[in-house]
Structure 1
Amino acid sequence: MREKEYRSVSAARGGLLFMRGVPGVALGDRVQVRDQRNRRRDGQVIRTSHEVVLIQVFEGTEGLDPERTWVRFLDRPFEVMLSPALLGRIFNGIGQPRDGRPPVIAALQRNVSGAPVNPAVRAYPREFIQTGISTIDGLNSLVRGQKLPIFSGSGLPHNRLIAQIVRQAKLPAEEQSRFAVVFAALGISHDDARFFRESFETSGVLQNVVMFINLADDPPIERLILPRTALTVAEYLAFDLDHHVLVILSDMTHYAEALREVATAKGDVPARKGYPGYLYSDLAEIYERAGRIKGRRGSITMVPVVSMPSDDITHPIPDLTGYITEGQIVLSRELHNQGIYPPVTIPPSLSRLMKDGIGKDYTREDHPRVASQLYASYARALNVRNLASIIGAEELTEHDRRSLAFAEAFERRFVNQGEEEDRAILETLSLAWELLSRLPPEALSRVTEADLARFHRGPSAVDEAP
């Protein structure tokens, strides 16, 4: 089909245009919409049939008069310009500049929907990415090629946390020059957008970041294309330019809500909590673009943020995200109310690929055993804390009181850290051993005798520590 322009819009509703009498239109085709004031908007075909063609308009359909709206079908998919000049730039969801600078002009353009990757050529995620945050690096390590979401809630400081990750994330010194970040924010406020931009500019990391910003007052439809635009840029940086790319997607709950809004306007049958039945496959289409490919030096590591409505981890969005990804970092409202930052709650947090990116040659040989021991000791201490709330702390044994003191020190010194505090992995491991030294050696069953001889200082040496 060659480029043709039609004026057969039958209805405009919820960011969608309904058209009749348009033959030969392909799913995913890009369109240009011209309204009665001769203003242009971008769109994409999301459904075709003999009876009707359905178009999502990224700038929304507000103010469109169906009888005076022209639609041009461009006979090509929605594409984004790709160039090394993207680094250091800020764009909206469809790749238009948001930083007051000229558009990026490049010979290379690619379909934002991406190309499917043969599972047989996927390489297993390995190697450690340091975030400078002890609860992640020490206990839930991020591995190149992994998908590790952050499960948060309304009012919790996930924006501060992901900004800190972007500022501090790094590779070993010899590979740091090949590290880049693609940061995609969906449905955020103007204040949050200003915070992210100023945070990256003042820290000097913006030159290695490509930012995509969709504001809360921008059309929700744009949120459906933004993750795909960002991931197309990430694939170019990783597999064409051999960069190791960290992709931050925040907040995927806003994406899912936009998907529900469009699905309702299309008349799709709703499933759990009104979300369409294809929410799982739609999220998987995004998340599975992270990873590594055999024969390619680069990698894509993904950290999506999911706000749990009513702090419900069984809500469809975090629930389905958990099925697709390889672990989760869970933020706690209880720790946040205690003034602990970042309020990462340890028991439900995990990184399923952590074992493949830590230990000898990656972090330090004792790291896997120290992490396991911290989990075990903290879990026991939480049980003791529950017991103390029933029978009273004065009825606890000496060993139980040491466990209780360990839990308080663990939360105050290991979990809690400054927003500008960048802890190297060796510093995190040293702090872990300092805390474990509050417990007697016989209580530490997950580390070796050699570990104890080398790192354990003994309870008496740390009893006076703050």
Structure 2
Amino acid sequence: MSLQFIGLKEINGPLVVLDNVPNASFEEMAELYLEDGTKRLGRIVEIQGERVIIQVFEGTNGLSLTNTRTRLTGKPMELALSKEMLGRIFNGAGTPIDGLGEIFADKYADINGQPLNPVAREYPRNYIRTGISSIDGLTTLIRGQKLPIFSGSGMSHNKLAVQLVCQSQLNDNKDSDEKFGIVFAAMGVNNDVADYFKRSFEESGVLENVVMFLNLSNDPIIERILAPRCALTAAEYLAYEHDMNILVIMTDMTSYAEALREFSSSKGEIPGRKGYPGYLYSDLASLYERAGIVKGGKGSVTQIPILTMPNDDITHPVPDLTGYITEGQIVLDRNLNQIGIYPPVAILPSLSRLMKDGIGEGYTRGDHSAVANQLFASYARVQDARALASVIGEEELSKSDKAYLEFGKMFEKHFISQEFNEARTIEQTLELGWDLLSLLPKSELSRMDAKLVEANFDPKRTERFKD
């Protein structure tokens, strides 16, 4: 039997309060009917005995304290799921907004997901090729991993997100029967950015393999909180029931956290660091931990959350807590961005903690680990040489330090920097790495096996870097 409650006790911003509601459940969905017969959706966000607080998705403008009728549905928010979702565009609450009609659902699933038994998880192996050398070569993305991108306001993270969607694939083997798809969630973006995403995916021809969730900056904040949960629910369905390897890209997680802060403030909760709720860590974990591979299954869910760091502060609560939960990070550098290098990936603070187990013989190439270690070590020496040159002048540097300066210049120009539509194979990336390492004296390649150096080191490789 469905009970309806007439009237509201209180209206406070996006929240309404009902009294004398027995047997309500946390996050239960509610339908609110206005005097003119229109319906709005809400969900229970707090329960105090028989008093419930409901957050209204479309806002509370026009609601009446006396005549609003509320019906509790008895179930949490569910998303209609079908393989038809591929190629479709939804709003943050999972409603189609592409004009192609409703989804004919195979099933409905709770957007909060089902807890994944840690024992049922399989250790991530194999890599996902993004076609970007600085990622594939030095911070390799592994299937089932969560690898965030830390960016800053005004930097090219949206462009990078589009490139990742357009270029990412499982490997260089075109004969593989493994299925790949992308779930893309944008939160709090402006209309022009949303149009840029849609237009880019359509023009590149990848939209048919993408499920898009778009939450605009003028949409209700509740949709911003729901968008990543809807996206991950769709990803889990495609991965675990249709054996697809799904890459989930979510931008911008800072907008999500700010919506959570606003929501927490409206409930009168005690704020934590910088006004964010004290449960921000566990809330972010409830999203990030929905990545992984289930034993015995063919599908996987891999996450690339993108977040902007206010004032480029990596110790800000959102990147700080994200770093605790995820398995590494890709950091974008403002200095590289300002001198026109794209993508402006800062090599030294970036890392992929699962990289070591998903590269090498049988995955990428046998020398991948050695090349990555040597490139990283050599680029670290470049920073020392540059610091020394700023003090004593470049002319006073030793021969090896001058070689490192030249290596650093070419490394940034040719390895880190690449065209937006340039998708490099892992072979091209590693060969380019060897070309760059050949700029250095052979004696400097101390992170590699002598036989490997002997087989691949050749000063003639450096001809391509001469003007």
TM-score, normalisation: structure 2: 0.97
Closer, same or farther in 2 for the Cα pair 1:383/1:42, shift >3 Å? same
Aligned to 1:293, what secondary structure does the other structure show? coil
CA distance in 2, matches of 1:214, 1:338: 32
Alignment length (residue pairs) = 465
CA distance in 2, matches of 1:122, 1:24: 35
Q: Which residue of 1 aligns with 2:69?
A: 70
CA distance in 2, matches of 1:107, 1:142: 31
Aligned to 1:67, what secondary structure does the other structure show? coil
Residues 32 and 42, structure 2, Cα contact 8 Å, conserved in 1 = yes
Aligned to 1:181, what secondary structure does the other structure show? strand
CA distance in 1, matches of 2:369, 2:62: 59
CA distance in 2, matches of 1:176, 1:134: 25
Q: Which residue of 1 aligns with 2:13?
A: 14
Residues 149 and 327, structure 1, Cα contact 8 Å, conserved in 2 = yes
CA distance in 2, matches of 1:107, 1:451: 53
Residue 154 of structure 1 aligns with an amino acid whose one-letter code is S
Residues 132 and 424, structure 2, Cα contact 8 Å, conserved in 1 = yes
Closer, same or farther in 2 for the Cα pair 1:66/1:454, shift >3 Å? farther
Q: Which residue of 1 aligns with 2:298?
A: 297
Quote the sequence identity (%): 51
Residue 179 of structure 1 aligns with an amino acid whose one-letter code is F
Deviation, structure 1 residue 321: 0.3
CA distance in 2, matches of 1:317, 1:229: 21
CA-to-aligned-CA distance 1:232-252 (integer Å, 9 cap, x gap) = 110100000000000011111
Residues 435 and 461, structure 2, Cα contact 8 Å, conserved in 1 = no
Deviation, structure 1 residue 33: 1.7
Aligned to 2:49, what secondary structure does the other structure show? coil
CA distance in 1, matches of 2:422, 2:42: 44
Q: Which residue of 2 aligns with 1:164?
A: 163
Aligned to 1:195, what secondary structure does the other structure show? helix
Aligned: 1:123 with 2:125? no
CA distance in 1, matches of 2:286, 2:269: 19
CA distance in 2, matches of 1:68, 1:204: 50
CA distance in 2, matches of 1:455, 1:348: 28
Aligned to 1:348, what secondary structure does the other structure show? strand
CA distance in 2, matches of 1:60, 1:389: 57
Residues 246 and 300, structure 1, Cα contact 8 Å, conserved in 2 = yes
Closer, same or farther in 2 for the Cα pair 1:432/1:39, shift >3 Å? same
Deviation, structure 1 residue 60: 2.3
Q: Which residue of 1 aligns with 2:49?
A: 50
CA-to-aligned-CA distance 1:339-384 (integer Å, 9 cap, x gap) = 1101111111000000111110111000001000000000001111
Residue 321 of structure 1 aligns with an amino acid whose one-letter code is T
Larger deviation: 367-376 or 65-74? 65-74
Residues 336 and 344, structure 2, Cα contact 8 Å, conserved in 1 = yes
Residues 14 and 262, structure 1, Cα contact 8 Å, conserved in 2 = no
Larger deviation: 9-18 or 349-358? 9-18
Larger deviation: 391-400 or 7-16? 7-16
Deviation, structure 1 residue 159: 0.4
Q: Which residue of 2 aligns with 1:360?
A: 361
CA distance in 2, matches of 1:460, 1:433: 8
Aligned to 1:143, what secondary structure does the other structure show? coil
CA distance in 2, matches of 1:434, 1:12: 66
Deviation, structure 1 residue 157: 0.6
Closer, same or farther in 2 for the Cα pair 1:357/1:59, shift >3 Å? same
Residues 440 and 459, structure 1, Cα contact 8 Å, conserved in 2 = no
Residue 4 of structure 1 aligns with an amino acid whose one-letter code is L
Closer, same or farther in 2 for the Cα pair 1:394/1:66, shift >3 Å? farther
CA distance in 1, matches of 2:104, 2:29: 19
CA distance in 1, matches of 2:462, 2:102: 61
List alignment gaps of at least 5 residues for structure 1.
none
Aligned: 1:201 with 2:196? no
Residue 162 of structure 1 aligns with an amino acid whose one-letter code is A
Closer, same or farther in 2 for the Cα pair 1:176/1:341, shift >3 Å? farther
Deviation, structure 1 residue 176: 6.2
Aligned to 1:304, what secondary structure does the other structure show? strand
Residues 35 and 68, structure 2, Cα contact 8 Å, conserved in 1 = yes
Larger deviation: 446-455 or 355-364? 446-455
Residues 82 and 233, structure 1, Cα contact 8 Å, conserved in 2 = yes
Superposed, 1:299-318 pairs within 5 Å as: 299-318=300-319
Aligned to 1:179, what secondary structure does the other structure show? strand
TM-score, normalisation: structure 1: 0.97
Aligned to 2:108, what secondary structure does the other structure show? strand
Q: Which runs of 4+ in 1 moved over 6 A?
A: none
Aligned to 1:123, what secondary structure does the other structure show? coil
Aligned: 1:34 with 2:29? no
Residue 100 of structure 1 aligns with an amino acid whose one-letter code is G
CA distance in 1, matches of 2:35, 2:176: 53
CA distance in 2, matches of 1:462, 1:440: 15
Deviation, structure 1 residue 302: 0.2
Residues 243 and 299, structure 1, Cα contact 8 Å, conserved in 2 = yes
Aligned to 1:238, what secondary structure does the other structure show? helix
Residue 343 of structure 1 aligns with an amino acid whose one-letter code is P
Q: Which residue of 2 aligns with 1:405?
A: 406
Residue 270 of structure 1 aligns with an amino acid whose one-letter code is P
Aligned: 1:182 with 2:202? no
Deviation, structure 1 residue 177: 5.2
State the Cα RMSD in Å.
Answer: 1.4
CA distance in 1, matches of 2:48, 2:68: 21
